[in-house]
Structure 1
Amino acid sequence: MIYPSTRPTHRRTDPAGRWLVSREVHPHLAHEDWEAGRTASIRIGFRFDVIHLPTLLVEETIQGIRDPAGVKDAFRKAGITRGVIVPRRYDHYSVLVRPDTARYWDVQGTEAVGAGGYLAVPAPGWRDAPGAHWLLHAPDESVDLPGAEEVRALIGGQPL
Protein backbone atom coordinates (compact mmCIF):
# COMPACT_ATOMS: atom_id res chain seq x y z
CA MET A 1 0.00 0.00 0.00
CA ILE A 2 1.32 3.43 -0.91
CA TYR A 3 0.59 6.24 1.53
CA PRO A 4 0.35 9.83 0.35
CA SER A 5 3.23 12.06 1.36
CA THR A 6 2.61 14.46 4.23
CA ARG A 7 5.64 16.53 3.24
CA PRO A 8 5.18 20.03 1.84
CA THR A 9 5.54 20.16 -1.92
CA HIS A 10 9.01 21.25 -3.00
CA ARG A 11 9.14 24.16 -5.45
CA ARG A 12 12.19 24.62 -7.65
CA THR A 13 11.80 28.37 -7.19
CA ASP A 14 12.37 28.18 -3.43
CA PRO A 15 15.31 30.56 -2.66
CA ALA A 16 16.87 28.16 -0.14
CA GLY A 17 16.65 25.22 -2.53
CA ARG A 18 18.20 27.24 -5.35
CA TRP A 19 21.03 28.39 -3.05
CA LEU A 20 21.73 24.89 -1.69
CA VAL A 21 22.18 23.41 -5.17
CA SER A 22 23.68 26.43 -6.94
CA ARG A 23 27.17 24.90 -6.99
CA GLU A 24 26.03 21.41 -7.97
CA VAL A 25 26.96 20.07 -11.39
CA HIS A 26 23.44 18.62 -11.82
CA PRO A 27 21.12 20.64 -9.57
CA HIS A 28 18.04 19.12 -11.18
CA LEU A 29 18.89 15.79 -9.53
CA ALA A 30 18.53 17.32 -6.07
CA HIS A 31 15.22 18.91 -7.03
CA GLU A 32 14.00 15.58 -8.40
CA ASP A 33 14.93 13.84 -5.14
CA TRP A 34 13.10 16.47 -3.10
CA GLU A 35 10.04 16.29 -5.36
CA ALA A 36 10.00 12.50 -4.89
CA GLY A 37 10.11 12.87 -1.09
CA ARG A 38 13.78 11.88 -0.69
CA THR A 39 16.76 13.70 0.75
CA ALA A 40 19.26 14.97 -1.83
CA SER A 41 22.99 14.32 -1.66
CA ILE A 42 24.66 17.76 -1.79
CA ARG A 43 28.40 18.39 -2.00
CA ILE A 44 30.00 20.02 1.03
CA GLY A 45 32.76 22.61 0.87
CA PHE A 46 31.48 25.02 -1.74
CA ARG A 47 28.54 26.81 -0.16
CA PHE A 48 29.00 25.40 3.32
CA ASP A 49 30.84 22.96 5.57
CA VAL A 50 29.02 20.83 8.15
CA ILE A 51 29.61 20.13 11.82
CA HIS A 52 27.80 17.07 13.17
CA LEU A 53 26.97 17.41 16.87
CA PRO A 54 25.75 14.33 18.75
CA THR A 55 22.24 14.84 20.09
CA LEU A 56 23.32 13.93 23.64
CA LEU A 57 26.15 16.48 23.61
CA VAL A 58 23.81 19.29 22.62
CA GLU A 59 21.02 18.30 24.98
CA GLU A 60 23.35 17.77 27.96
CA THR A 61 24.97 21.14 27.32
CA ILE A 62 21.60 22.84 27.49
CA GLN A 63 20.72 21.16 30.80
CA GLY A 64 18.85 18.19 29.40
CA ILE A 65 16.31 20.12 27.37
CA ARG A 66 15.01 17.71 24.77
CA ASP A 67 11.90 19.33 23.35
CA PRO A 68 12.34 20.84 19.88
CA ALA A 69 11.34 24.36 20.96
CA GLY A 70 13.95 24.40 23.74
CA VAL A 71 16.66 23.03 21.45
CA LYS A 72 15.81 25.64 18.78
CA ASP A 73 16.06 28.38 21.40
CA ALA A 74 19.50 27.13 22.47
CA PHE A 75 20.77 27.20 18.87
CA ARG A 76 19.39 30.72 18.37
CA LYS A 77 20.92 32.01 21.62
CA ALA A 78 24.30 30.74 20.39
CA GLY A 79 23.87 32.74 17.16
CA ILE A 80 22.84 29.83 14.93
CA THR A 81 19.58 30.97 13.35
CA ARG A 82 19.33 28.78 10.23
CA GLY A 83 20.78 25.70 8.64
CA VAL A 84 20.37 22.88 11.19
CA ILE A 85 19.33 19.44 9.96
CA VAL A 86 18.05 16.56 12.06
CA PRO A 87 18.54 13.19 10.33
CA ARG A 88 15.95 10.42 10.34
CA ARG A 89 17.68 8.60 13.24
CA TYR A 90 17.75 11.78 15.35
CA ASP A 91 21.23 10.87 16.62
CA HIS A 92 22.94 14.17 15.80
CA TYR A 93 22.39 17.71 14.57
CA SER A 94 24.08 18.77 11.32
CA VAL A 95 24.96 22.47 11.44
CA LEU A 96 25.74 24.18 8.15
CA VAL A 97 28.70 26.49 8.75
CA ARG A 98 30.92 28.77 6.67
CA PRO A 99 33.19 27.08 4.12
CA ASP A 100 36.64 26.15 5.51
CA THR A 101 35.34 25.92 9.10
CA ALA A 102 35.89 22.14 9.04
CA ARG A 103 39.59 22.59 8.30
CA TYR A 104 40.23 24.04 11.77
CA TRP A 105 37.55 22.26 13.81
CA ASP A 106 38.86 19.76 16.35
CA VAL A 107 36.33 19.29 19.14
CA GLN A 108 36.36 15.78 20.51
CA GLY A 109 33.11 13.86 20.08
CA THR A 110 32.00 15.92 17.08
CA GLU A 111 32.70 15.61 13.37
CA ALA A 112 33.38 18.37 10.86
CA VAL A 113 33.14 17.71 7.13
CA GLY A 114 34.50 20.03 4.46
CA ALA A 115 35.34 19.83 0.78
CA GLY A 116 34.95 16.38 -0.71
CA GLY A 117 32.09 15.27 1.52
CA TYR A 118 28.39 14.95 0.88
CA LEU A 119 25.36 15.63 3.07
CA ALA A 120 21.86 14.15 2.87
CA VAL A 121 19.79 17.32 2.69
CA PRO A 122 16.02 17.40 3.14
CA ALA A 123 13.95 19.72 0.95
CA PRO A 124 13.96 23.27 2.34
CA GLY A 125 10.29 23.05 3.39
CA TRP A 126 10.62 19.88 5.46
CA ARG A 127 10.46 21.12 9.04
CA ASP A 128 8.92 18.19 10.87
CA ALA A 129 9.57 14.51 11.50
CA PRO A 130 9.24 11.75 10.49
CA GLY A 131 12.43 11.55 8.52
CA ALA A 132 15.21 14.04 8.02
CA HIS A 133 14.09 17.64 8.44
CA TRP A 134 15.27 21.18 9.14
CA LEU A 135 15.26 22.04 12.85
CA LEU A 136 16.03 25.62 11.82
CA HIS A 137 15.09 26.86 8.34
CA ALA A 138 17.31 26.10 5.37
CA PRO A 139 19.67 28.99 4.58
CA ASP A 140 19.54 31.02 1.41
CA GLU A 141 21.81 33.66 -0.14
CA SER A 142 20.69 36.30 2.36
CA VAL A 143 21.93 34.33 5.38
CA ASP A 144 25.36 34.62 6.92
CA LEU A 145 26.20 31.09 8.06
CA PRO A 146 27.63 30.61 11.55
CA GLY A 147 31.26 29.76 12.17
CA ALA A 148 33.17 27.84 14.81
CA GLU A 149 32.55 30.49 17.49
CA GLU A 150 28.77 30.08 17.40
CA VAL A 151 28.96 26.28 17.46
CA ARG A 152 31.40 26.38 20.39
CA ALA A 153 29.01 28.73 22.21
CA LEU A 154 26.23 26.17 21.77
CA ILE A 155 28.19 23.25 23.18
CA GLY A 156 29.57 25.10 26.15
CA GLY A 157 32.61 26.83 24.77
CA GLN A 158 34.67 23.69 24.27
CA PRO A 159 38.05 24.85 22.93
CA LEU A 160 39.32 24.02 19.48
Structure 2
Amino acid sequence: MASESPVEAWLAQAHPTPHMAARGWTRPGVVRLPCGWLFNVVRLREPLVHDAVGTTNPTTVTTTLAELLDGPVVHNRPFSTYHALVPVHFVIRWTEQYREARMLGEGSYVEVPSLDLRGPDGVYWAVPPRSPGHVCALEPIAALVESARRSSGQPR
Protein backbone atom coordinates (compact mmCIF):
# COMPACT_ATOMS: atom_id res chain seq x y z
CA MET A 1 0.00 0.00 0.00
CA ALA A 2 1.29 3.45 -0.91
CA SER A 3 2.20 5.86 1.84
CA GLU A 4 -0.77 7.94 2.90
CA SER A 5 -0.77 11.68 2.41
CA PRO A 6 -1.00 14.11 5.34
CA VAL A 7 -4.64 14.83 4.37
CA GLU A 8 -5.49 11.11 4.36
CA ALA A 9 -3.79 10.71 7.73
CA TRP A 10 -5.86 13.60 9.10
CA LEU A 11 -9.14 12.23 7.70
CA ALA A 12 -8.32 8.76 9.01
CA GLN A 13 -8.15 10.18 12.55
CA ALA A 14 -11.98 10.47 12.45
CA HIS A 15 -12.21 6.66 12.20
CA PRO A 16 -12.19 4.63 15.45
CA THR A 17 -9.31 2.60 13.96
CA PRO A 18 -7.42 4.96 11.61
CA HIS A 19 -5.42 2.20 9.91
CA MET A 20 -8.72 0.59 8.82
CA ALA A 21 -9.75 3.85 7.15
CA ALA A 22 -6.47 3.93 5.24
CA ARG A 23 -7.03 0.32 4.18
CA GLY A 24 -10.60 1.12 3.09
CA TRP A 25 -9.38 3.86 0.76
CA THR A 26 -7.38 1.30 -1.20
CA ARG A 27 -10.45 -0.93 -1.81
CA PRO A 28 -13.27 -0.05 -2.46
CA GLY A 29 -12.05 3.55 -2.18
CA VAL A 30 -14.77 4.92 0.12
CA VAL A 31 -14.81 4.84 3.93
CA ARG A 32 -17.68 5.65 6.26
CA LEU A 33 -16.42 8.16 8.84
CA PRO A 34 -18.18 9.43 11.96
CA CYS A 35 -19.01 13.12 12.20
CA GLY A 36 -18.82 15.25 15.32
CA TRP A 37 -15.26 14.83 16.48
CA LEU A 38 -12.86 15.92 13.73
CA PHE A 39 -15.44 17.66 11.57
CA ASN A 40 -19.17 17.96 10.98
CA VAL A 41 -20.81 17.82 7.57
CA VAL A 42 -23.49 19.98 5.98
CA ARG A 43 -25.61 17.92 3.59
CA LEU A 44 -26.64 19.88 0.51
CA ARG A 45 -29.10 18.25 -1.85
CA GLU A 46 -28.35 18.62 -5.56
CA PRO A 47 -31.46 20.73 -6.34
CA LEU A 48 -30.48 23.25 -3.66
CA VAL A 49 -26.93 23.49 -5.01
CA HIS A 50 -28.18 23.75 -8.60
CA ASP A 51 -30.59 26.55 -7.62
CA ALA A 52 -27.80 28.41 -5.82
CA VAL A 53 -25.26 28.19 -8.64
CA GLY A 54 -27.80 28.52 -11.45
CA THR A 55 -26.85 25.39 -13.39
CA THR A 56 -26.79 21.60 -13.37
CA ASN A 57 -23.57 21.41 -15.38
CA PRO A 58 -21.25 19.26 -13.21
CA THR A 59 -18.06 21.10 -14.16
CA THR A 60 -19.58 24.51 -13.47
CA VAL A 61 -21.12 23.30 -10.19
CA THR A 62 -17.77 21.93 -9.00
CA THR A 63 -15.86 25.08 -10.00
CA THR A 64 -18.44 27.29 -8.32
CA LEU A 65 -18.44 25.25 -5.11
CA ALA A 66 -14.64 25.42 -4.99
CA GLU A 67 -14.76 29.21 -5.36
CA LEU A 68 -17.66 29.84 -2.99
CA LEU A 69 -17.01 27.35 -0.21
CA ASP A 70 -13.20 27.24 -0.29
CA GLY A 71 -13.12 23.86 1.41
CA PRO A 72 -13.62 20.13 0.91
CA VAL A 73 -16.89 18.88 -0.58
CA VAL A 74 -17.83 15.26 -1.28
CA HIS A 75 -20.38 14.54 -4.01
CA ASN A 76 -22.44 11.43 -3.33
CA ARG A 77 -23.90 11.10 -6.79
CA PRO A 78 -26.01 7.97 -6.11
CA PHE A 79 -27.85 9.88 -3.35
CA SER A 80 -27.82 13.25 -5.18
CA THR A 81 -26.13 15.07 -2.31
CA TYR A 82 -23.06 17.16 -1.66
CA HIS A 83 -21.39 17.01 1.77
CA ALA A 84 -19.33 20.02 2.84
CA LEU A 85 -16.87 19.28 5.63
CA VAL A 86 -17.19 21.99 8.29
CA PRO A 87 -15.89 22.69 11.80
CA VAL A 88 -17.56 20.86 14.66
CA HIS A 89 -20.49 23.14 15.54
CA PHE A 90 -23.77 23.10 17.41
CA VAL A 91 -25.97 21.05 15.06
CA ILE A 92 -29.31 22.17 16.50
CA ARG A 93 -28.54 25.87 16.14
CA TRP A 94 -27.54 25.45 12.48
CA THR A 95 -30.42 23.14 11.60
CA GLU A 96 -33.03 25.50 13.07
CA GLN A 97 -31.93 28.21 10.67
CA TYR A 98 -31.05 26.08 7.62
CA ARG A 99 -33.45 23.13 7.60
CA GLU A 100 -32.83 22.43 3.92
CA ALA A 101 -29.10 22.01 4.57
CA ARG A 102 -28.94 19.62 7.50
CA MET A 103 -25.77 19.52 9.56
CA LEU A 104 -24.58 16.05 10.52
CA GLY A 105 -22.72 15.82 13.80
CA GLU A 106 -22.12 13.27 16.52
CA GLY A 107 -23.98 10.03 15.81
CA SER A 108 -23.96 10.61 12.04
CA TYR A 109 -21.66 9.23 9.39
CA VAL A 110 -20.48 10.37 5.98
CA GLU A 111 -18.98 8.43 3.08
CA VAL A 112 -15.50 9.82 2.40
CA PRO A 113 -13.70 8.81 -0.80
CA SER A 114 -10.00 8.30 -1.26
CA LEU A 115 -8.27 11.46 -2.44
CA ASP A 116 -7.83 10.12 -5.98
CA LEU A 117 -11.60 9.70 -6.55
CA ARG A 118 -12.60 12.82 -8.50
CA GLY A 119 -15.78 11.70 -10.28
CA PRO A 120 -17.93 11.80 -12.23
CA ASP A 121 -19.67 8.71 -10.79
CA GLY A 122 -20.20 7.25 -7.36
CA VAL A 123 -18.86 9.02 -4.28
CA TYR A 124 -16.03 11.40 -5.08
CA TRP A 125 -14.37 14.68 -4.13
CA ALA A 126 -16.10 17.55 -5.91
CA VAL A 127 -13.63 19.79 -4.09
CA PRO A 128 -10.74 17.87 -2.50
CA PRO A 129 -9.20 18.94 0.81
CA ARG A 130 -6.10 21.14 0.43
CA SER A 131 -4.44 20.40 3.74
CA PRO A 132 -5.04 18.61 7.04
CA GLY A 133 -7.69 20.37 9.11
CA HIS A 134 -8.88 22.66 6.31
CA VAL A 135 -12.70 22.66 6.19
CA CYS A 136 -15.41 24.93 4.78
CA ALA A 137 -16.42 27.95 6.85
CA LEU A 138 -20.12 28.06 7.71
CA GLU A 139 -20.74 31.59 6.40
CA PRO A 140 -20.27 30.71 2.70
CA ILE A 141 -22.54 27.68 3.09
CA ALA A 142 -25.20 29.88 4.68
CA ALA A 143 -24.82 32.30 1.75
CA LEU A 144 -25.21 29.39 -0.69
CA VAL A 145 -28.45 28.33 1.03
CA GLU A 146 -29.74 31.91 1.00
CA SER A 147 -28.94 32.15 -2.72
CA ALA A 148 -30.88 28.94 -3.38
CA ARG A 149 -33.81 30.30 -1.39
CA ARG A 150 -33.86 33.48 -3.50
CA SER A 151 -33.52 31.50 -6.76
CA SER A 152 -36.38 29.19 -5.89
CA GLY A 153 -38.58 31.91 -4.40
CA GLN A 154 -38.64 30.01 -1.11
CA PRO A 155 -39.25 32.11 2.00
CA ARG A 156 -36.64 32.10 4.73
TM-score by length of 2: 0.82
Alignment RMSD:
2.3
Q: Percent identity?
A: 22
Mean alpha-carbon deviation: is it higher for 19-28 or for 49-58?
A: 19-28
**Number of equivalenced pairs:** 148
Could you tell me which residue of structure 2 aligns to residue 7 of structure 1? none
| Pairing 1:33-112 to 2, within 5 Å after superposition | 33-63=24-54, 65-78=55-68, 80-100=69-89, 102-106=91-95, 107-112=98-103
Q: Show structure 2 runs of 5+ residues with no match.
A: 150-154
Contact 1:101 1:148 in 2 (8 A): no
**What's the CA shift for 1:90?**
4.9
Distance, in Å, in 1 between the alignment partners of 2:46 and 2:107 is 24
**What's the CA shift for 1:139?**
4.8
CA offsets, 1:102-136, max 9 Å, x none? 34212122221112221111112211132100000
- Secondary structure of the residue aligned to 2:146 is coil
**What's the CA shift for 1:29?**
1.2
Q: Post-superposition, which runs of at least 4 consecutive aligned residues in structure 1 deviate over 6 A?
A: none
Q: 1:147 aligns with which of 137, 142, 146?
A: 137
Cα distance, 1:91–1:142 mapped onto 2, change above 3 Å: closer
Q: Show structure 1 runs of 5+ residues with no match.
A: 1-9
Amino acid at match of 1:153: A
The structure with more helix, counted as a fraction of residues: 2
Contact 1:49 1:97 in 2 (8 A): yes
CA offsets, 1:76-119, max 9 Å, x none? 342x1231011141511111011115342121222211122211
Could you tell me which residue of structure 1 aligns to residue 125 of structure 2? 134
- Secondary structure of the residue aligned to 1:155 is helix
Distance, in Å, in 2 between the alignment partners of 1:54 and 1:88 is 10
Cα distance, 1:142–1:115 mapped onto 2, change above 3 Å: closer
Distance, in Å, in 1 between the alignment partners of 2:61 and 2:16 is 35
